[in-house]
Chains A and B, each alone.
Chain A
């Protein structure tokens, strides 16, 4: 597989990025794929490891060496079959996954990892282009119906898988379109929404039903839904923001990042003539002409900067509590093959703006009830638990707009979760343990709602595994027997002991400590 010793001769070539000065003027995708020939060479760098750590590093367990090799050998159609076998939506992960696979790549020990994510995206895009991806509705229906609440990546994955098993699936979404944070959180520059629409059209063609603008608990009661379906899957994400607790927080002009991103994404949609809900008059958050300070240096923070730059902000600054990353991008706490806790994504900063490392916000000062300055100081320490202020390091940053992007604590409890009477775990997530079964019979949870904020790839993996359990509980089909065994561990009484899925499966992810819930790493 791959080319013998290819990694010694071929160097890594990443995505082709557009000129920052150009791209900041539009909302189009800021990167593109390398030519096919180059990608095949990149595939040749894969060493076909006896133990592919990338495959384990991927929460989905993507069969990375297998499709790297197929790309190298120009067998793209085989590659998409292999890729789809473990990943329902490679076009999402191929664009916005922080690629823990690449961190775990054996070449990453002492070299540049294989360009796995780019190859992934290339496979799926070529497959769409060639028309290889067509709806595959199930042969027969089981007569069972499932309601999925939430159309984020977890909800979509669970819906896709259960539909494929022959169950009739309805997805309820309170917003005007599907995708959850994929649609409303991630900027078009990273994930053009047409990519989501393309996939939704396939799912619809396969028989998945979508109901938008249905807020369960308000537009329809939880009880009604339980009545309507044989199973309910709660995939509502983890949307309760974490907030900054500092004097002056109440000042105007300080917003949660996600509120800003929702507005920007809807604005772009409106510009492109797609249906979108307009903001309540008076609640518009505008960065144009302003000095913008973003608190939090994760992906959400970066996306705020990206939008602020496009809107025409005067200045854009990130205050990041963490220390500057070493050049390797990896600190001692996350030795190979673990992914670094922090992503060094700087696509937004390439376009403008600055990041101040090791700074903690101590307060806000305002003029006429609107924020004007952010007070901060330097801190040392490696995690939120051991931060130490540096004496005498206090400073201020002028700000007209402050965006808080320090993550989410847990799913919203009001409404659905309360109405269904679901137990919560100590961190406020829906308690399911390993089985994805919530405390109420016939109700399941997956994705961020179950494990706390995480990556899109984790969400898809969650959805897939949850679907296996639901399918089995619904009577399933004999051909799924082997898969079920894998999902719940065939070894009775002994827990599955793989690198990180155990924590993930058990729902005992500690915020700030596990790679898929780093600050700002919402997706």
Chain B
């Protein structure tokens, strides 16, 4: 069934990178027998989730939809055509067979033979009827032949569970034998799946079975898929056999490896000998969901209740929590010794046919809402409003909560609460006792005297391990001084490791992956509640058994071991733990051959030690000395890890590495990512001691404190690194290989870094060995006073690493745009030559490329003029805040003069810039960025844009947020950002309204509503899989996608992020182009590339690799005078560019002419190259990879292994397939409810006449109010209309983003409920949500609005009678809201406004809250434990606040009829005493300062206040 599969890997496209996200729902019938109504309800829900799914280039072909049901006995008895055994004694296997008859016949024979061999009976085959009218064109072409095989149970099987196991064995045997030809979506006596590459509405049409009234069930699990690709795949539709999943398992690679490592230990009494037949447990090439399903299924069939298995795989964040019962905590502790978490944002809906439930990841990053109706049904879905039940029929409703399980037990006929489920599972065995008895804490081991093999001079060791002065001064010293990683700025322009002659460490070849779009990164600081650094070593036991011995692990609080801690491990004397040390060095006389020889040897030694019972392997390079050279530590760890995984013995030991090499956070992260449980970076500690002794650290820092701080700094850095990928615990990061290698040979990757993405080849073992020897030769035989090499990676040095920006290139560029004597073009030519022919060749991939020019160029005048080419240029998203107002406006003027685009960056824009200056210049930025902080994002800002850019990631620090320190927030910036001067501002790592691709689709829709005339752009950063994400972006109806390189700039980022995350744009752009072409999506979307663009050659190469447009950032800054101080984050830029200091800003001497001249030089250079290539227009240039080749003239000894052919691959698509954008966007707004509102409100819009409208609303009506608000902002400006001009009363369940962008003058009152993102970006409007009059439930106990309500609101008022979900009022900067209870992370990152909570709050309230005030009604005095008090203080209500609060509560009562509010008002005095005020410390300080300043300013001579 080849057509059933995505295409094979080709070029840079790899099917493994596909992502999906989805809508998921289940329906369960609590009482009575099965009926068909369950299916009807499930299909209704599914169809109402359809907007969460997606269609590709062929709009009739969906990404997949499916349903999992109880096996309907009555139905099969009727249609089987044979006599069936009693229910439970037969099963049905659903088979996707190839349509080709011969192949099908062979497979049918295989199936029948296997069933027989396993002692069961084939009862019958049934062709599943399908209706081709209900399938898309593309999907139809690849549709499999779907047949069901009915299997009868053998007599000797004792029970249904045994039969289920037998069916499982049969299925695995068939799957293994059939390979890719066959898929078996389900094979069970309890459940059955119907699914396919369908849209939600097609599902029931395609499968007439589902309409058959005899088809009855008590549960139905449905799923609608949104995949990043459009390749036909029927099998990848959900549900799987036990789950339907909405999310991502980020740690999949590690989980798969660990599962594989476990297999040799698996044993099960229930399966006995059969277990061997199902191995490998994980089906090769499956998606994350499929893999998860494989493991869950095994755990359940091997005897664990499904709830137990789910709790093992997706544990909640339990560490350091007091509200988790001891038994449950013990359960988690115990199981942490057994299995690492499957980490990532996910809703997993699961069933074994008897219970159906759902759980949410520990951080609550997916939505889930449920209702219970009076007629006995429970419906859970990604959204609310997917049932037909009237409000009066609803008994209860709620939402999935982070880490909680929502379970319906059909046998008991009831919903089982999370606490009960967990208590019951935890009580199965005395897990807590087992754990407490057996686990050993590192701290409890006795101290040991150090035992080092040799003592070498420090300097020699530093030289041998490649230390530089920079490492000491700029990495180690600041970490020790401040307890955190140093911040840096500007982009990374130095040589890729594979091009560097400076022997970069192996770590530098590995680039960190990060979450973008398909899953969210985490904020490890503000959401530290979900993070954990705890690690353990020891041997693991059989996964399928349970015993106290399973808990025998050596536990460590964090993975960086100081020397004495390592000694405790090395000399452990314990009846269970046995440590062995393996020497990672080889004798120098063996030369380069020695490394591989030794590598083989250490792998063998590791195996031998494991056989002899060692369960802690310490890999040590302490033996490095004059005659012995060290294997790169990362290579050693990865080699042994993979060797033991292959040998099946990996889980019998833990790996600890004792090495002199690592000294940066990235180094530690890679070691852990490839399997090290703990690291002793002894030379880093010794170097730190030297710094302390030499007095190069702050005086008050003694050795002990310095070491503690550096350990702390590394811990924080590691959390940052995991969280970029959305991973919360070190346990699941360990071995997860969240890296892409750039510049390593395929053999090396395959053998020692198995499964790591690596696409351009590069150096092999020989070069690694040579470089190890070169480093070693610096140190030996000579020692003594030798100074360390300078480094020159973080700051340019002449003898250091090559940088493309260097004194030469910067001076030439500046001189070229300033030349007054006509020398400009010539000087620019010198500049571009210096870049193109020298520094870029030494540093970048494009430097290795050659243009296939014609022998005779075409005449230059035939090439598109430069005036046209410059229109394709834009400047990067540099925020006002990062750079000064003068620089920001100069860039905007320059780009507007060119007809090109500048970008606001995050942080709003001064409306005065929307009007032209007297000389005709316009200071408005064409591109308005929407970043995660949403600062200044108002409808007025959005309507004044030509392009709206959603920043998913930034090249310098993908997967991270930002922070504008308080000292850069002056009055002007505070005003623009709607915040308080002097108070630092945090942009979270994720957009809290984008946790998945369907969320992005929603935000794109929101932005289209906010400005239907603007293009919507999504900014991504290169990493493996960016192409598939870009395809998803295209399918989410964006107009434009930016592919940024890893080398993009920044005003402030952690050092390791600038250096180590993301990959060059050359690869990401090529992957994007190839994937879009393969998906037939290229014509839908404009592609822009950016990242260290400097010359016309860069522009041409980007175009050839697929870019329609080019972004520049650093180079225009340099044209304006930037000299790469790299101190943007310190506010001391001496040329007035990256600073807010008024004195320094005066030094700014840049002009728009500088930028205009520079970009024209670039365009002219590009034209000359186009002429040389024989290409007349830019459009013709795009995607012509045939004009590129590897430059044979560049014979660099390391670069020889680089193979760019995958980058140059032209996908197999028709010759005339468009290679650039040719089509307008999809008209997605056509059916918006707002058009009707606007039509009705015309008199109000025209003449500001107050009016009242009534409307119903459903969950499919999204972003209601957005278009209306856009219209008001366009016509009336930032302040909109007078309050209550347009009042609309709604009735129903509103869809996502209800009331988004709501402007001054609009009042929405909803009787019903809303989904997520209500009041997003509220901008002065008034939003009320209250339950319907006839509601059958108490509002204050039920969820009325979803997650992430009032995100980025800037003004307005909101009243919600009922509970809200997670992240209520996140990043609110001005709205006033009243709500009756909130979930976790309430008021996160809030910078202004007021929030009143009249009921319970979840955990982590006020995390990152730097402004505004919250009042929480804390009747039971429990709030303090829920509040994150890092930035805020809790205090009693002041008199002044009390009056304000009372008014708000009264208004809430009046607008919503809330009985809660009424009760409080009845005895206000008592109520007021129960309120707690949550006050951010910085905010209060700033308010006090302002008050003092205002008092002082009351003097007549006072300056006018800032803007």
Contact = CB atoms under 8 A, between A and B. Distances in A.
B796 interface: yes
A492 interface: yes
A495 B834 CA distance: 10
Nearest to B787: A85
Interface in B450-507: 469, 473, 490, 501
Given A81-B785, A338-B811, A499-B808, A52 B694 contact: no
A75 B797 contact: no
Identify which of A75, A107, A335 gathers the most chain B CB atoms within 10 Å of its CB.
Answer: A335
Given A51-B810, A75-B696, A491-B842, A5 B1132 contact: yes
A82 interface: yes
B883 to A, nearest CB: 16
Given A81-B787, A104-B807, A49 B1132 contact: no
Contact of B1149 (A49, A110, A332): A110
Nearest to B799: A486
Given A4-B1132, A8-B1143, A498 B787 contact: no
Contacts of B1125: 47, 49-51, 106
Contact of A110 (B782, B796, B837, B1135): B1135
Interface stretch (A231-239, A474-482, A511-519): A474-482
A260 interface: no
Given A4-B1130, A82-B787, A51 B808 contact: no
A218 B248 CA distance: 86
A209 B883 CA distance: 59
A49 B795 contact: yes
A498 B1123 CA distance: 16
Contacts of A73: 695-696
Contacts of A504: none
B1144 A8 contact: yes
Contact of B807 (A66, A486, A490, A498): A498
Interface stretch (A55-63, A246-254, A310-318, A347-355): A55-63
Contact of A47 (B794, B797, B1134, B1196): B1134
Contacts of B1130: 4-5
Given A49-B795, A337-B811, A485 B837 contact: no
A482 B821 CA distance: 43
Contacts of B778: 479, 482
Interface in A131-186: 136, 139
B1124 interface: yes
A55 B782 contact: no
Contacts of B774: 481-482
A111 interface: yes
A39 to B, nearest CB: 18
Nearest to A6: B1132
Nearest to A111: B1134
Interface in B788-808: 789-790, 794-799, 803, 805-808
A494 B841 contact: yes
A116 B1128 CA distance: 24
B815 interface: yes
B808 A498 contact: yes
A55 B797 contact: yes
A78 to B, nearest CB: 7
A493 interface: yes
Contacts of B799: 61, 486
Contacts of A111: 1134
Given A50-B1124, A61-B799, A109 B1134 contact: yes
B836 to A, nearest CB: 11
Given A61-B798, A479-B782, A494-B841, A53 B807 contact: yes
A497 B834 contact: yes
A210 interface: no
Nearest to B1126: A50
B9 interface: no
B1224 to A, nearest CB: 44
B1507 interface: no
Interface SS of A by simple majority: loop
A7 interface: yes
A111 B1133 CA distance: 13
Interface string B755-797: 0000000000000000000100110011001010110001111
Given A50-B1126, A481-B777, A497-B834, A63 B842 contact: no
Identify which of B837, B1125, B1135 gathers the most chain A CB atoms within 10 Å of its CB.
Answer: B1125
A49 B785 CA distance: 27
User: Chain B contact residues (Cβ within 8 angstroms of A): what range?
Assistant: 35 or more
A318 B490 CA distance: 49
B1127 interface: yes
Nearest to B470: A66
B413 to A, nearest CB: 68
A13 B696 CA distance: 26
Given A73-B696, A106-B1123, A106-B1125, A51 B777 contact: no
Contacts of B782: 139, 479
A55 B695 contact: no
Contact of B795 (A50, A56, A85, A136): A50
A107 B1134 contact: yes
B838 A485 contact: no
B1195 interface: yes
B1147 interface: yes
A495 B839 CA distance: 11
B1193 interface: yes
B777 A49 contact: no
Interface string B691-702: 000111000000
B790 A63 contact: yes
A425 B789 CA distance: 36
Interface string A32-62: 0000000000000001111111011100010
B147 to A, nearest CB: 64
A486 B795 CA distance: 18
A8 B1134 CA distance: 9
A372 to B, nearest CB: 43
A53 B808 CA distance: 9
Contacts of A63: 790, 797
B838 A52 contact: no
A241 to B, nearest CB: 33
A111 B708 CA distance: 42
A482 B775 CA distance: 9
A176 to B, nearest CB: 35
Contacts of A110: 1134-1135, 1147, 1149
B428 interface: no
Contact of A7 (B696, B787, B811, B1134): B1134
A51 B1124 contact: yes
B820 interface: yes
Nearest to A139: B782
B818 interface: yes
Nearest to B830: A497
Interface in B832-890: 834, 837-839, 841-842
Nearest to A332: B820
A106 B1134 contact: yes
Contacts of B1196: 491-492
Contact of A50 (B490, B781, B790): B490
Ordered nearest first, which 8 A-B pairs have the shortest CB separation?
A50-B1126, A56-B807, A497-B838, A61-B798, A490-B501, A51-B796, A50-B1124, A499-B808
30 contacts: A50-B1124, A51-B807, A51-B810, A56-B808, A61-B798, A66-B790, A73-B696, A75-B694, A75-B695, A78-B694, A81-B785, A81-B787, A104-B807, A109-B1121, A109-B1123, A110-B1149, A111-B1134, A136-B785, A335-B814, A335-B818, A482-B774, A482-B789, A485-B501, A490-B501, A491-B501, A494-B842, A497-B808, A497-B834, A497-B837, A497-B839
Given A4-B1130, A479-B782, 19 more contacts: A4-B1132, A7-B1134, A47-B1127, A47-B1132, A51-B807, A55-B798, A56-B806, A63-B797, A81-B787, A104-B807, A106-B1135, A111-B1134, A136-B785, A332-B820, A337-B811, A482-B774, A492-B1196, A493-B1195, A494-B838
